[in-house]
Amino acid sequence: MLTSKQRAYLKSLAMVMEPIIYIGKASLTPENTMNIEEALAARELVKVGVHQNCLDDPREIAEMVAGRTHSEVVQVIGKKIVLYRPGKDKNRKIELPKAKKS
């Protein structure tokens, strides 16, 4: 689970990113899910675009993708979805701010 500080950091990284995967009229397909899975493995942070002709709600799509790829929804703004899944320990590309211990 991401803290608000970690989520804010990931949002700042995602601001300059362009979507690399688009979800179209057919909504979320197994191919889209597989492409997002591969992108998360390679990049950890992925921005997904939802085309105007997709009738499904981007928030619902984001939750479905997160569940299927074991990732976290960082944010959904309009038709853009940002997902994060940390890489394996030695292959991490993004170093998140430390969470405070309670």
Q: Let me know the angle formed at the C-alpha of 72 by 97 and 92, rounded to the nearest 5 degrees.
A: 50
Position 46, amino acid: V
Boundaries of domain holding 80: 4-86
Number of domains in the chain: 1
How many of the other CB atoms lie within 10 Å of CB of 81? 27
**What average pLDDT does this structure show over 81-87?**
94
Residue 65 placed within a domain: yes
Distance CA 18, CA 46 (A): 9
Q: What is the CATH number of the domain that holds 23?
A: 3.30.110.60
Q: What pLDDT, on a 0 to 100 scale, did the predictor assign at position 101?
A: 65
Nearest Cα residue to 44 out of 80, 72, 77? 72
Residue 45 domain flag: yes
Q: Is residue 71 part of a domain?
A: yes
Residue 70 lies in a domain: yes
Asked if residue 93 belongs to a domain, the reply is no
Q: Does residue 100 belong to any structural domain of this protein? A: no
pLDDT at 98: 82
Q: What is the mean pLDDT of residues 5-31?
A: 94
Count CA atoms closer than 13 A to 94's CA, side-chain side: 22
Q: Which is higher by pLDDT, 87 or 54? A: 54
Assess if residue 78 is contained within a domain. Answer: yes
Mean pLDDT score, 2-11: 93
Decide if 94 is inside a domain.
no
In this prediction the pTM is 0.90
pLDDT of 102: 56
What are 23-68's pLDDT values in tens digits?
Answer: 999 999 999 999 999 999 999 999 999 999 999 999 999 999 999 9
